[in-house]
Amino acid sequence: MGNQSNAKKLLGIALVTLLAMSLAIVAVDACGNKCKTPTTYYCTCRPSTICGSTPTVTPPTPTTVTTPTPTVTTPTPTPTVTTTSTVQADFVVIDKTPSFNSNAVTLQFNDESTGDPQSWKWDFGDGGTSTDNNPTHTYTDGVDTHTVTLQVSDGNTDSISKEVDTSSQNVSTT
């Protein structure tokens, strides 16, 4: 039974020492003297003290810490306006002027795109191009049919291609 009693004392000493070290607890002997480091069951910081009795372990006075509540500012979202393009490319040939001295034929193209086109790109099918909205183009290669492409844009793009007959007096687009 003596060994169990000693084991309990040693366990008690170890727990007091461990608790004091891990929680930064101040040890005080029976006379109220604070020890710098409680290392044993008896307070040895003041060996001249007559008391020498079992130390009293006093935990530090708790301090109330107020954590400030963070202020969260949520930015106001900027509305996104999504517009869909209503531009749709289309054109017609409104005039044909043949040259009597050569195979040249001059055509007047008219943009009939819907919506509000802001830019035009014409490809006349013979290497010629234009950025006018209603261009005139002269064909000199003697080819009877050309594929003409019109691309219009208002931020969004649309295009159309048509076969244009450049050989006959009556010009037609299909």
β-pair partners for 147: 163
Q: pLDDT grade, residue 43 (50/70/90)?
A: very low
What whole-number distance in Å separates Cα of residue 136 and Cα of residue 105? 10
CATH of 91-165, one of 2.30.30.140, 2.60.40.10, 2.40.100.10, 2.170.130.30: 2.60.40.10
Domain ranges for the chain, please list them: 2-58, 91-165
Model pTM score = 0.49
In the chain, the N- to C-terminal Cα span, in Å, equals 115
Q: 28 or 38: whose pLDDT is higher? A: 28
| Residues 64-116: tens digit of each pLDDT | 777 777 777 777 777 665 556 589 999 999 988 888 777 789 999 999 999 99
pLDDT tops 50 at residue 19: no
